[in-house]
Copies of this chain bind each other. A is one copy, B any other.
Amino acid sequence: MDYLYYPQPVSDLIAAFSRLPGVGPKTAGRLAFYLLRHPDQAGELTQAVTKALQDIKQCTVCGNYTDIDPCKICSGERRDRTLLCVVEQPRDVIALEKTGEYKGLYHVLHGVLSPMEGIGPEQLNLSPLFHRLEGVQEVVLAVNPTVEGEATSLYISKLLKPIEIKVTKIAHGLPVGGDLEYADEVTIARALEGRRQL
């Protein structure tokens, strides 16, 4: 209804932007008209999208997005190959890399178990994980602490149990700079649960 007065190609463009996550109709309109005013940038954008979709594949080893296979991390010579960190999404790899603290390898699941959405173990990049455990001494589960994430962690840890590899999970608790008063109950409960002796 909102697009009643736009020429068809403009309303199609607004609709295409609207379907992106976090982009409402107002933002979509702003972006569409911006590109119409700046054809150079529109060209750059379509080229960047096309090129990324063409060149970026999933690494056949870890499942991370990469333009070379295996990816730079999997083929990195300075990587600690005894450590394997399991994450949900390629962006989680970046988040961990930015800390500069982790030097091991990664395994990207591309999702979590979610029976509601019909996502079972077969829909995830899960079985390749079990074919790359040679030499690995510790699997670090860094899946997000959502209900589905926790279930996924549990599922993986159970599968890994017979293989006798150390399985750890990243700590959940109060974020640094966080405030007890404003933290939710579950986070505080997790922080208590994970308390350590000083």
Contact = CB atoms under 8 A, between A and B. Distances in A.
Interface in A1-46: 5-10, 12-13, 15-17, 19-23, 27, 29-37, 39, 41-46
A48 interface: yes
Interface string A37-77: 10101111111111111111000000001111001100000
A27 B34 contact: no
B33 A22 contact: no
Contacts of A21: 30-31, 34
Contacts of A72: 7
Copies per complex?
A: 2
B44 A56 contact: no
Interface in A128-187: none
Most chain B beta-carbon contacts within 10 A, residue among A7, A15, A54, A71: A7
A78 interface: no
B22 A30 contact: yes
Interface stretch (A88-96, A117-125, A190-198): A88-96
Contacts of A34: 20-21
Contacts of A31: 20-23
